[in-house]
Structure 1
Amino acid sequence: MALNAAAVADAVRAVGVRCELIGDGSVEVIGATHDSRAVEHGSMFACLRGAAFDGHTFADSAVAAGASALLVDHELTGATGATQLVVDDTRIAVGPAAAAVYGHPSDALVTVGITGTNGKTTTAQLVATILDDVGHRTGVIGTLHGPRTTPEAADLQQTLAGFVTDGNTAAVMEVSSHALALHRVDGTTFDVVAFTNFGQDHLDLHETVEEYFRAKSMLFDRSFAPIAVVNVDDPHGRVLADVLTDRTGDDSMRVVEISVDEVTDVAVEAGRHSYRWRGHDVDVPIGGDFNVANSLAALTIAAELGIDLDAAVAGVARLSTVPGRFERVESAAADRRGISVVVDYAHTPDGLEQLLMSARRVVGPDHRVIVTFGCGGDRDRDKRPAMGDVSSRLADRTIVTSDNPRTEDPARIIDDVLSGVGEEYRSSTTSNPDRRAAIAEALDVAERGDIVLIAGKGHEATQDLGDVVIDFDDRRVAMALLDADAPLAEERTHTS
């Protein structure tokens, strides 16, 4: 679909954003991008301002590459030679502009948006499985599908348009706090939006917990969706539901509260969980009792989309493994030893706490929970001691290691984590900056009935060491170590 520049300007004005058109409004705009390297003939180039770059400095190169229009926050003079759409803030304008350029693709799809600190990926995969199972062709946007959980606005609209072109009829999207704060989903409409939970994360961007929650809450506006599914077991979810319920008029949304109190007969194992809900027996092939809330959210979203409950329950039962989310490492060597090995993306204090508590319920009081994890570099330092505290209290053995240190010294990150460990837990907490060696140590000390948790990186297949990125997949590493250890003792019994 192609619009002329004047029509794009009108679309921006239609959402209440000032837009001055300078130049030829009749020129066609056939695409949108914020990356000057991705400009094609007829593209609108959005000059976004970031922490390291100002897109306005690339305007001339974008025009040289074929851009027919520029989205700018001030008039550019000189050799630009393209129509300019001048707005006060290009980040606020680019979503609606790109949505118009691509024909408002979210309107053509059954679209679900999911936000929260933890559980977005699993819930999104569950919803997508249900939608596919009832005949939709579903595109998924999230942590498992690109470098950003939620793409930049122009990329997002192009992706949604691609879904439509490819014959998809539905889209499920993880919506990050970054995306909301930076207006990446502006211009997108959803049939249902959902809130999973809230915990400490991303304070390097949001600075305070209050600002982080405010960013998450931005998704729950009638301009995005008519229906909100909210987990009220979470204290912030309870507050959000109450605020939304109090709204009236044009700002009102229908609020559907969910709570694990709705379910009965809950059973959780390392590789599955089950319960009874609304007269249906639900069986989901993924472990972790925190996933009860995630599957409940997915089922409730499906119900709000008008999907038959029998079909929704059948859909979640056919879920394939969600990569790096309470993912059991399938190993004959582990089975012979009688140990469970689980890889999980838990990288926040709340996420790690839920992971450890779930593992404890799987193994019971007579066996041990052993965990190795690290914290990412160049990210929120405040959560590191909190994660050390949580792990040392809730695990029987903790081995702190390196995650993605990026440009930071791994030893400094580990020290930050260890600073949160209380004196009484020091003897059961060790460290090893070599992640492979740390995983090997965790597997080596595990005995029959124990569970080994490898946390923090989940589905990631590389490790960012700052000056180099190496291949490193926790699942593959654990499998290789277990296979190498297979000829050793078939059974190790915990006697301490």
Structure 2
Amino acid sequence: MPNHALSDLLARLDFAWRREPAKPGPLDNIQWRANACDAGSILFFQRFDDGRTDAEIIERYLVDSACAVLVTNRMIEGVERLPGKGIYVTHPGDWAAVVGRFCDCVYPLDTDGTVFLGVTGTNGKTTTVKYLEAILSAHGRPVLSVGTLGLSLAGEPLVNTGFTSPPLIELRRLLHAHRDRYAVVAMEVSSHALDQGRAHGIPLLNAAWTNFTQDHLDYHGGEAAYFAAKARILDMIADGGRLYTTSSDVAERLRENGQPRVPVEALPAATLGAEALAAKPFLALAHNRRNYALAVALADGILGPGAREDWRHLSAVDGRFECRVVGNRTLVVDFAHTPDALETILSAIRDAFPRARVATLFGCGGDRDRFKRPLMGEAVARHSDHTIVTSDNPRFEDPERIIADILTGMPEAGREVVIERPLAIARLLDFLAERPEDEPWVALVAGKGHERYLDAKGHKSPYSDQDEIERNLIRLGWV
């Protein structure tokens, strides 16, 4: 990057409002985290309507930041508390493009030598991306995947970003840092990322949309706005590309909203033979066969269509229908954390284990969409013979209040409440131990999946559903 490149770009761009730095100095880096800045940093801070005041934002993030320049997407009241710093406010709608210009300067993107593929949807993004990664890697394509499970190269984890879709500066930094190691990027693209421009400037060869059900209404404000955010993935697809979906509802709704700018192709779930289902039992689940169909379609765009047996290259995805069988007890750990995801996985369990009774342990995250809580309770109650409602990342909310919201969607019979999640898992295993040995049960532990922490009161403490299950299996002498 040439000397003064950032300063020159800052001077050239048109902003809605600006205050020059009191003592201009050299600018040599861009940041999205206030605590990562130094005296040469431009901090890009995107302000949201999250209930916090500008004064709170300044106090928590900005007043102690070492940045020389602050760029925001809208005016923040109280910038006089940031003396000496340059303040620049983008025009409405310009935020992502402005951040992208600076990323181009610091972290150039190779759009000619790299193929980008994106996956959006309420559920199934991670599984689809990991299936795609496995297929392309098996055919010798170096794949960098970006998503809920972090950053991986050819299936080997590199870093946990903490995001489904990292902020644009972080995404570009990661892509630039590993630019000589991949030819394909397969990325999850969340509704938040599409709304906030986190993937701005990434040209997708093709994309997939898994499904659309209720989630994130706390952020988007309504179902229509949530769908509109998802639909922005169409704008990321390059000319000549297409969007694949296994949801006829998504395809129909996109057409009802006007002619999509690229073709939208609805796909059926993949049809697999007995050999495939015996070797890869997770593909017995209908939603995984839909995810597989999308992964194959995206892979075809690179490998070309053909009679491949791509299923041979797949493995179960971390925290997605992880099974542990002990006698007549089957324990399933899954990330399902929306009404539709719980409905889908519990329906699949009922279909796959028609003789078994079902016990479900679940909770709901705090500081997120409250409207889905009773709907999650309804879905679980509809398919479960016994239910334990517990805590799941309460964040800054009272876990008892979250549970109370869930219980409004559930009948009183056949349910227990155990607030602390480790104790809830112990209770679940004790419940299974109390049942007759010849009585088959499937126990679903839902919500955490791959996550290895509990998020409460601003602190993430180490935790794993898998570890808690193992601990209790040992306690009961089942292993």
Deviation per CA, 1:128-172: give whole Å up to 9, x if none: 1122222222222211112221111211211221221x5222211
Deviation per CA, 1:349-379: give whole Å up to 9, x if none: 0000001001111101x22121110111121
Q: How does 1:469-480 map to 2 (within 5 A)?
A: 469-480=460-471
Q: How does 1:263-412 map to 2 (within 5 A)?
A: 263-264=270-271, 273=277, 288-307=285-304, 309-310=306-307, 313-314=309-310, 316-329=311-324, 334-335=325-326, 337-364=327-354, 366-412=355-401
Match of 1:144 among 145, 149, 153: 149
Deviation at 1:98?
Answer: 3.6
Query: Using a 3 Å threshold, how does the CA distance of structure 1 residues 432 and 242 change in structure 2: closer, same or farther?
Result: same
The 3-state SS of whatever aligns with 1:148 is coil
Query: Using a 3 Å threshold, how does the CA distance of structure 1 residues 135 and 266 change in structure 2: closer, same or farther?
Result: closer
The 3-state SS of whatever aligns with 1:390 is helix
Residue 440 of structure 1 is matched in structure 2 by 426
Residue 451 of structure 2 is matched in structure 1 by 460
**If the length of structure 2 is used for normalisation, what is the TM-score?**
0.82
Greater alpha carbon shift after TM alignment, 401-410 vs 101-110: 101-110
5+ long unaligned stretches in structure 1: 275-281, 489-496
The 3-state SS of whatever aligns with 1:264 is coil
Task: Measure, in 2, the Cα distance between the counterparts of 1:483 and 1:243.
Answer: 55
Q: How does 1:184-263 map to 2 (within 5 A)?
A: 184-221=198-235, 226-240=240-254, 243=257, 246-247=259-260, 252-260=261-269, 263=270
Match of 2:100 among 96, 104, 111: 96
Task: Measure, in 2, the Cα distance between the counterparts of 1:287 and 1:387.
Answer: 24
Residue 491 of structure 1 is matched in structure 2 by none
Residue 193 of structure 2 is matched in structure 1 by 179
Task: Measure, in 2, the Cα distance between the counterparts of 1:94 and 1:61.
Answer: 24
Query: Using a 3 Å threshold, how does the CA distance of structure 1 residues 161 and 107 change in structure 2: closer, same or farther?
Result: farther
Residue 35 of structure 1 is matched in structure 2 by 33
Deviation at 1:346?
Answer: 0.5
Residue 492 of structure 1 is matched in structure 2 by none
Q: Kindly indicate whether the alpha-carbon contact (under 8 Å) linking 1:9 and 1:19 is maintained by their aligned counterparts in 2.
A: no
- Identity level (%): 31
Task: Measure, in 2, the Cα distance between the counterparts of 1:127 and 1:472.
Answer: 29
> Which residue identity lines up with residue 198 of structure 2 in the other structure?
R
Deviation at 1:208?
Answer: 0.9
Query: Using a 3 Å threshold, how does the CA distance of structure 1 residues 299 and 11 change in structure 2: closer, same or farther?
Result: farther
Deviation per CA, 1:30-62: give whole Å up to 9, x if none: 542222332357543324324448688877976
Deviation per CA, 1:200-241: give whole Å up to 9, x if none: 111111121111111111111256664233324342343225
Q: RMSD over aligned Cα, in angstroms?
A: 3.5
Match of 2:474 among 458, 462, 483: 483
Question: Are 1:170 and 2:184 an aligned pair?
Answer: yes
Question: Are 1:117 and 2:122 an aligned pair?
Answer: yes
Deviation at 1:452?
Answer: 1.1
**If the length of structure 1 is used for normalisation, what is the TM-score?**
0.79
- State how many pairs are aligned: 451
> Which residue identity lines up with residue 172 of structure 2 in the other structure?
Q
Task: Measure, in 2, the Cα distance between the counterparts of 1:56 and 1:418.
Answer: 38
